[in-house]
Amino acid sequence: MAVPSKQQILDWIADHPDADSKRDLAKAFGLKGNERVELKRLLRDMAAEGQLVRRRSDQREAGSLPPVTVVQVMPPDGAGDLFVRPIEGADEPARRILYQPRPQDPALGPGDRFLARLAPERGEDYDYTARLIRRIGEVSDKVVGIFRQQAEGGRILPIDKGADREWRVRAGDTLDARDGELVEATQTGPRGRMGLPQARITERLGDPSAPRAVSLIAIHQHNIPDEFPAEVIREADAKPPADMTGREDLRHLDLVTIDPLDARDRDDAVTAYPDTDPKNPGGMVMWVAIADVAYYVTPGSPLDREARKRGNSTYFPDRVVPMLPDTLSGDLCSLHEDVDRAVVAVRMRIDAQGNKIGHDFHRGMMRSRASLSYEQAQAAIDGQPDAATAPLLDQVLRPLWDAYDRLAASRKRRQPLDLDLPERRIVLDDEGRVTSVNFKDRFDAHRLIEEFMVLANVAAAEELLARRRPLLFRVHEEPTLEKLDALREVAQASGFVLAKGQVLHTSQLNRLLAQAEGTDFDELINVSTLRAMTQAYYHPENLGHFGLALRSYAHFTSPIRRYSDLIVHRALITAHGWGAGGLSAWDIDHLEETATQISNTERRSMEAERDTTDRYLAAYLSERVGTELTGRISGVQKFGAFVKLDETGADGLLPIREIGNEYFHYDPDAQTLIGSETDLKIGIGQRVTVRLTDASPLTGGLTLELLELDGEAVARGPKSKRGRVTSRRPSALKSKQRADERRAKRMRRRPG
């Protein structure tokens, strides 16, 4: 179908006031791939012309309020009714919005904020009604930083890379914090242009240089809930182990768990054996058994509400912030060796070529034969079994690898995106200090478990689609044309080719990755390809998974640590009539809101984990300031270049001032910096030798000085004459330089 006209878009929005996002429009008009990009451009033009008011990803008719927005509760009126006002958009039309709470909603009072669904509904003294989607804490007003004591109160210095905003703390709001202490505070004064905003310290977090403060900073900075409410703990502790009521006995199956050495939970077990059906010669039967978390976490319970709020577990090198209390995640829902555990299992049949030819789901009771690590399982297959794996080698492990060989062949034909990104492993001592940074080994044992889990997830999605049951899909859309063009630039700068003008398939990206494999540009191309991808997310509609090259995909295999999987388990329970623990009416009515919630918490966890890794790497490298390191240019901006260091994989900033003794022109299209006098060109993929000039564990920032570019020494000069960026327009040079220098300063800034 062709991209709709502007009038068609306006007509559709008028008929569907509550569903007006770009995704909704694309679905309504059957748009795919590049057509979605054209739709996005058309909506941008309509917003610029005033036909639509643009708010984030939503489009709506000018003069109306958005269907979903953040609101704040105002004091009750004379009749005791609560009205709310939108937080954003001071230029919005004046509208009276009545809050209509439901019985299950938490109590709200003046000043509370929440994400609301608005509906036009004219009453005697209001124009809209608001329903609560989720309550919002004071995330936008929260401050985490270093307290600096002054004569009257003090200041809070930021710990974010690139941040330069400080906050003033009055004498009575310091909570007796000490100078240099890490604190959490709430902003109390306006974010004005004149002076500093005010804040009140709400918690003292201790010494910021303490080894275990690194993850603590991320937890507070990203507002990750790390303590369970008392009622949640009480409910978890009161749960008895599941019995055999309504379950199949699967304890005869040779199921084993295979996990990392430091696994904190074990929620999946696998086994495989030859298919005896003569109609399937060379085929295999595979079982994937997953902890039956839905039995313990029932809809609407305190455990359920807390799990939904958290969305997922968050993993740090020194701790885990779990989605569920340890009574469940570490015990009742963890598939320990030689212990009966309740599971939802899928039995799958594959043919000799690795194609799935059938599946069926079961709610049962299993008993794991062994809790193995990836290293143990791989060593056994490689001819070095230990006491735990030797008895399992012929009956359990070799059949698993036979099934994997078939799945690998199927994967090769399907051509999912074949990224090879080394995973860093930060090793800490008993005090929490970094002792080494390694890259984790990756074995066929890892790939085996991944392939088993992918096929189980596909089976879950197909099962629920066939039974017409609501669920949450894992969605991954194809990359935008802009991101593909950026990837193409990187590929060409590295001497490779990514074809243009075709309908994109993962096989084309895999050919690019294959060109780079084994070369100096291997990691760069893998990272750049990853950056070109869109962010995967959850959605109640099946929009496919581009990266895996799958039409239908849902997360089923990790309900201990992902709320999405718990929803899929509940859907399967309802679809099969297995009794308690199925989807509630509330679950179904709020699927889209749940999808948005857990997609957001997933991104929050990823950012927190990435920030923590950066800080640990900066702490590890802080003792090596002044040393020379090698790496490769991984990104170029007008304020400098980013370098990925070889030894640790850490990313450091090479500011313009540390590059050379001339002015530089930034070419955003070619992603290069070019010297005005020597024509020195700095671009993505070039090898560099740098000196580490600064490493800030508090912000995770690394600052570098360029010494060699592609093996050639870079000329040095007086500092005052080095590293300025020019513009093609001489009249804009001065203001542009000042802006770039301010931005570079923000990138380098750290608490003093």
**Amino acid (one-letter) located at 61:** E
pLDDT score recorded for residue 79: 62
Q: Tokens 């036979």 map to which residue?
A: 402
Q: What is the DSSP string of 368-380?
A: BS-EEEHHHHHHH
The CATH architecture one would assign to domain 139-208 is Beta Barrel (2.40)
Going 630 to 636 to 641 to 645, the CA torsion angle's sign is: negative
- Taking CA atoms, 50 is separated from 90, 91, 490, in Å, by 17, 14, 37
Instruction: Write out 495-506 in H/E/C secondary structure.
Output: CCCCCCCCCCCH
pLDDT digits (tens, 9 = 90+) for 165-210: 788 999 989 999 999 999 988 887 665 445 788 899 988 888 887 8
Report residue 91's pLDDT band, with 50, 70 and 90 as the boundaries: very low
Gyration radius from the chain CA atoms: 28
Could you tell me if 134 and 114 are in contact, meaning their C-beta atoms sit under 8 angstroms apart?
yes
DSSP 75: P
The rounded distance, in Å, linking the Cα atoms of 602 and 563 is 10
Range 590-602 average pLDDT: 93
CB proximity list for 56: less than 8 A, separation 6 or greater = none
- Please state, for a pLDDT cut of 90, what percent of the chain lies above it: 50
pLDDT digits (tens, 9 = 90+) for 504-536: 899 999 999 999 998 878 888 888 898 889 889
pLDDT score recorded for residue 18: 57
pLDDT score recorded for residue 522: 85
The distance between the two most distant Cα atoms of the chain, rounded to a whole number of Å, is 86
The rounded distance, in Å, linking the Cα atoms of 231 and 600 is 25
**Domains of the chain: which residue ranges?**
6-56, 68-136, 139-208, 230-407+438-464+552-608, 478-533, 625-748
Could you tell me if 631 and 643 are in contact, meaning their C-beta atoms sit under 8 angstroms apart?
yes
pLDDT score recorded for residue 714: 84
Torsion of CA 212, 218, 223, 226, to 10 degrees: -30
Q: Which two tokens stand for residue 634?
A: 């991984």
Q: What count of other Cβ atoms lies within 10 Å of the Cβ of residue 402?
A: 15
- Residue 133 φ then ψ, to 5°: -95, -55
The rounded distance, in Å, linking the Cα atoms of 630 and 608 is 27
Range 319-341 average pLDDT: 94
Domain 625-748 has CATH 2.40.50.140: yes
Return the closest-CA partner of residue 260 out of 457, 452, 451, 441.
Answer: 441
Q: Is the per-residue pLDDT at 727 higher than 90?
A: no
The rounded distance, in Å, linking the Cα atoms of 573 and 298 is 12
The CATH architecture one would assign to domain 68-136 is Beta Barrel (2.40)
pLDDT score recorded for residue 719: 44
pLDDT score recorded for residue 223: 85
Range 690-719 average pLDDT: 85
pLDDT score recorded for residue 725: 53
Sheet holding 268-274, edge to edge: 248-249, 356-367, 340-350, 284-291, 268-274
pLDDT digits (tens, 9 = 90+) for 546-567: 999 999 999 999 999 999 999 9
Q: Which residue(s) pair with 346 in the sheet? A: 288, 361
Could you tell me if 91 and 62 are in contact, meaning their C-beta atoms sit under 8 angstroms apart?
no
The rounded distance, in Å, linking the Cα atoms of 132 and 234 is 27
pLDDT digits (tens, 9 = 90+) for 117-170: 888 887 777 888 998 887 765 444 678 889 999 988 999 998 876 666 788 999
**Amino acid (one-letter) located at 437:** V
pLDDT digits (tens, 9 = 90+) for 395-447: 999 999 999 999 999 999 999 999 887 788 888 888 888 888 888 888 999 99
Return the closest-CA partner of residue 637 out of 720, 746, 732.
Answer: 746
Query: Is residue 46 within a helix (H) or strand (E), and if so which, with residue range?
Result: helix 34-48
Going 220 to 221 to 223 to 226, the CA torsion angle's sign is: negative
Q: Which two tokens stand for residue 392?
A: 């399992």
pLDDT digits (tens, 9 = 90+) for 377-398: 999 999 999 999 999 999 999 9
pLDDT score recorded for residue 162: 61
Q: 400 or 490, which is more confident?
A: 400
Q: Is the per-residue pLDDT at 461 higher than 90?
A: yes
Q: 284 or 90, which is more confident?
A: 284
- Map residue 599 onto helix, strand or coil: helix
**Amino acid (one-letter) located at 346:** V
- Residue 68 φ then ψ, to 5°: -130, 125
Could you tell me if 130 and 98 are in contact, meaning their C-beta atoms sit under 8 angstroms apart?
yes
The region, left, alpha or beta by phi > 0 then psi within -120 to 50, assigned to residue 234 is alpha
Q: What is the DSSP string of 228-276?
A: --HHHHHHHHTPPPP-STT-EE-TTS--BEEE-TT-S---EEEEEEE--
pLDDT score recorded for residue 14: 63
pLDDT score recorded for residue 495: 87
pLDDT digits (tens, 9 = 90+) for 253-296: 999 999 998 887 899 999 999 999 999 999 999 999 999 999 99
- Map residue 282 onto helix, strand or coil: coil
Q: Is the per-residue pLDDT at 742 higher than 60?
A: no
Same fold, 139-208 and 625-748: yes
Of the listed ranges 7-21, 179-193, 705-719, the least confidently predicted one is 7-21
Q: Which residue(s) pair with 289 in the sheet? A: 269, 345
pLDDT score recorded for residue 730: 34
Range 586-610 average pLDDT: 93
User: Rounded to the nearest 10 degrees, what angle do helices 444-466 and 374-381 cross at?
Assistant: 110
**Amino acid (one-letter) located at 575:** A
Could you tell me if 139 and 225 are in contact, meaning their C-beta atoms sit under 8 angstroms apart?
no
- Please state, for a pLDDT cut of 70, what percent of the chain lies above it: 85
pLDDT score recorded for residue 15: 64
pLDDT score recorded for residue 323: 96
Range 69-91 average pLDDT: 70
Report residue 645's pLDDT band, with 50, 70 and 90 as the boundaries: very high
